[in-house]
Homo-oligomer: A and B are copies of this chain.
Amino acid sequence: MDQRALHAFFAPRTVAVIGASATPGKIGHSVVTNMLGAGFKGRLFPVNPKGGSIEGLTVARGVSELPGGIDLAVIAVPRDAVLPVLEELAAKGLKSAIVITSGFREVGREGFDLEQKMAELAISHGIALLGPNALGMMNTALGINASFSATQPLMGDLAFCSQSGALCVAILDWARGENIGFSKFVSLGNKAVLSETHMLRYLGADPASKVILGYIENVENGEEFLRTARQVCRIKPVIMLKAGSTAAGAKAASSHTGAIAGSDKAYETAFRQSGIVRARDVESLFCLAEAFANLPLPKGPNVAIVTNSGGPGILAADACEKTRLHMARLSPETIQRLQALLPSYAAVYNPVDIIGDANAERFRKALEIVLDDPMVHAVLLLLTPTAMVEIEATATAVVHLARRSEKPVVACLMGHTHVYDGKRILRQAGLPCYAFPEPAMRSIEAMYTYALWKQKPVPVYESPPRDREAAGRVIEEALQRGQSEIVEFQGRDVLSAYNLPTPRTVLARSSDEAVRAAEEMNGPVALKIASPQISHKTDVHGVALHLIGEAAVRQAFWDITTSSQRLRPDAYIAGCLVQEMAPRDAQEVICGFKRDEQFGPLLMFGLGGIHVEILKDVAFHLNPLSRDDAFGMIRSIRSYMLLKGVRGTPCANLNALADVLLALSALAQDFPQVYEAEFNPVLVNFERALVADMRMTLRA
């Protein structure tokens, strides 16, 4: 999308309202009065075949009466009239449009087709088209309210865009009540042309918008969205609320990976990787925005609490411990200074309880001392309206100190009437002020998480050594044979093409062959059913482990092949794979990927067989993957301690494990035909990581 068209959209000098109406209550009337009410300084052209005048403006009877090159047309005519009028406008050089009219994609096939035609028309003429089925757009700095909202927003430095018009309505009303203002406000509607990605790019460069807030249900082009978000998040915070999940992908999943890599996981991963702060609900969207818009980012995780109330102080400490933040350990010097300041029975450790009779001066001094401590990265100032509290003087002192400090100071004034003036003073000074300690602490946490993301070095991507041609031959052959899966004995060729070590494995077609193979391996072996149709081997009792000696191997061959044949009479049984057993000290891990419909290959990593499925202790990452990212995945699972070594077990070779993940990432990138892949189990001990079994699903 041409940035000039987007500029015409957000900063139009000429606006036509197609379907303008003189009847209050009609959408075409609201748009005109909203534009006038917002104080639009450009030229406004109401259009209606009936002519006449609306709110003192002469009404044009048709597009033909309009000048050429209109910056923005707001279209609120009946559905079937939208396309013709847009054609007329396009012919006269229209630059951008908002289609308020609904009845398109959201009502069925016919509407969908109409929307497609409209989008094609807009794209071919370079028209930045918002909607259809949108509430509209507002740009408070320029007095633009091109919407039928019943509420005029206040001016502010938050940009907001939403895929739900109803949510826009609720938020405009709520924000007005909370005195929260906006720079830009956009209802995206059906996103026929303009999407969240266009908004992100434009608002990222918009100096009037300090923070970008968004509500989305899906994104239109995942990979472009991610690229844009990564760039914009370097410049300013983006906070998003993601609703629902596209169940389609998750349901179709056929492997363990798929079953839990539902698309919400992909969104979670996408947000985390690209620096987007994910809000957990509407309320916290704005709680977070307040902090991000007004405070410096904390340089570390250590929070100090300064309070005049013991109980709330404990609640705040509880809230801190529930986040990734830490309660700061104050330095001896800080403690000495606090002791000199405070009554003997005050608490000089963290939380610093300056007790109920604290006046403004004691608040000020305690806050100053704590802010001076180099081990404190952020301060929560927590006040309850005791009889002695000097609310206005305290708030004023906090404003002074907070403005001077490079550390975020978050205020929480608990109460209502008796803290009202304090809240007013803080808010007027642009400082966030919360009513409860928990959201205050979560805001600090989100800022810290964002600060960590911003500090991350630019990733370095390596290209693992591999024989792409050899792997490609196996995959192509399988596709040509009509296989939808590649399993063990074909899979081993793919693994070796990616230089992945596998346990010695021999296909035995008879029990005699199995016994011979086991003897050559000179140690305990495993037998596994070999059949291209059987992917979950344990379901057919198709696995036997720790076999020693001829008798055991022979018996296992017989057991496995007969039970598999009995339980899956449809399957072709090639025999059994005889495999050297992993060393006893090896941990089992699973590595895999699945292509997410929005975001491409979603890599996953987790510990041990069925534990992934049941305990859901899994790390995800969207391609591409750097070695640092791979280590990050490994470290982020709850059971990481098991890999690091506990109770005398040495640490697993994490570098070898990272190699497996990097090869998997390369495989996903090399072959779009591979829809999902799972290496399960990968056996890792202090020496090496062996891929003991694998499955890949193909899609032609």
Q: Which of B164, B173, B282, B541 contacts A310 (CB 8 A)?
A: B164
Within 8 A of B (CB), among A384-432: 384-387, 414-419
Residues of B within 8 A of A415 (CB): 169-170, 173-174, 177
Residues of B within 8 A of A169 (CB): 309, 384-386, 415
Copies in the complex: 2
Binds B, one of A270-278, A480-488, A590-598, A636-644: A636-644
Binds B, one of A57-65, A194-202, A314-322: A314-322
Within 8 A of B (CB), among A577-594: 584
User: When chains A and B are docked, how far (Å) is the Cα of A252 from the Cα of B166?
Assistant: 55
> How many Å from the CB of A685 to the closest CB on chain B?
16
A56 contacts partner chain B, Cβ-Cβ < 8 Å: no
Residues of B within 8 A of A116 (CB): none
Residues of B within 8 A of A148 (CB): 387
Interface string of A539-560 (1 = CB under 8 A from B): 1110000101000000000000
Binds B, one of A42-50, A90-98, A610-618: A610-618
The reply to whether B106 and A173 form a contact with Cβ atoms under 8 Å apart is no
Q: Which of B163, B170, B315, B641 contacts A309 (CB 8 A)?
A: B170
User: When chains A and B are docked, how far (Å) is the Cα of A541 from the Cα of B217?
Assistant: 54
> How many Å from the CB of A334 to the closest CB on chain B?
22
A312 contacts partner chain B, Cβ-Cβ < 8 Å: yes
Q: Which of B150, B283, B309, B638 contacts A387 (CB 8 A)?
A: B150
> How many Å from the CB of A507 to the closest CB on chain B?
23
Residues of B within 8 A of A384 (CB): 166-167, 169-170
Residues of B within 8 A of A332 (CB): none
User: When chains A and B are docked, how far (Å) is the Cα of A536 from the Cα of B615?
Assistant: 26
Known: A318-B244, A536-B647, A614-B642. A310 touches B166 (CB 8 A): yes
The reply to whether A243 and B177 form a contact with Cβ atoms under 8 Å apart is no
A281 contacts partner chain B, Cβ-Cβ < 8 Å: yes
The reply to whether B647 and A610 form a contact with Cβ atoms under 8 Å apart is yes
Residues of B within 8 A of A244 (CB): 314, 317-318
The reply to whether B436 and A282 form a contact with Cβ atoms under 8 Å apart is yes
A356 contacts partner chain B, Cβ-Cβ < 8 Å: yes
The reply to whether A167 and B243 form a contact with Cβ atoms under 8 Å apart is no
A538 contacts partner chain B, Cβ-Cβ < 8 Å: yes
A207 contacts partner chain B, Cβ-Cβ < 8 Å: no
For chain A, which range describes its interface: under 10, 10 to 19, 20 to 34, or 35 or more residues?
35 or more
A651 contacts partner chain B, Cβ-Cβ < 8 Å: no
The reply to whether A312 and B617 form a contact with Cβ atoms under 8 Å apart is no
Residues of B within 8 A of A617 (CB): 615
- The residues of A with any CB-CB pair to B shorter than 8 Å are 25, 27, 30, 106-108, 148, 150-151, 162-167, 169-171, 173-178, 215, 217, 241, 243-244, 280-283, 308-312, 314-315, 317-319, 344-345, 356, 384-387, 414-419, 435-438, 536, 538-541, 546, 548, 584, 610-611, 614-615, 617, 638-639, 641-642, 646-648
Between A and B, 27 residue pairs with Cβ closer than 8 Å are A30-B387, A106-B345, A107-B344, A148-B387, A150-B387, A150-B418, A166-B308, A166-B310, A169-B385, A169-B386, A170-B414, A171-B414, A173-B414, A173-B415, A173-B417, A174-B435, A175-B416, A215-B311, A243-B314, A281-B315, A282-B438, A540-B648, A541-B648, A546-B546, A610-B646, A614-B646, A615-B615
- Contacts beyond the supplied A107-B345, A166-B310, A282-B438: 20 A-B pairs with Cβ under 8 Å: A27-B387, A150-B385, A166-B356, A167-B384, A167-B414, A169-B309, A170-B309, A170-B312, A170-B385, A173-B416, A175-B416, A177-B416, A243-B318, A282-B315, A283-B435, A540-B648, A546-B546, A615-B615, A615-B617, A615-B639
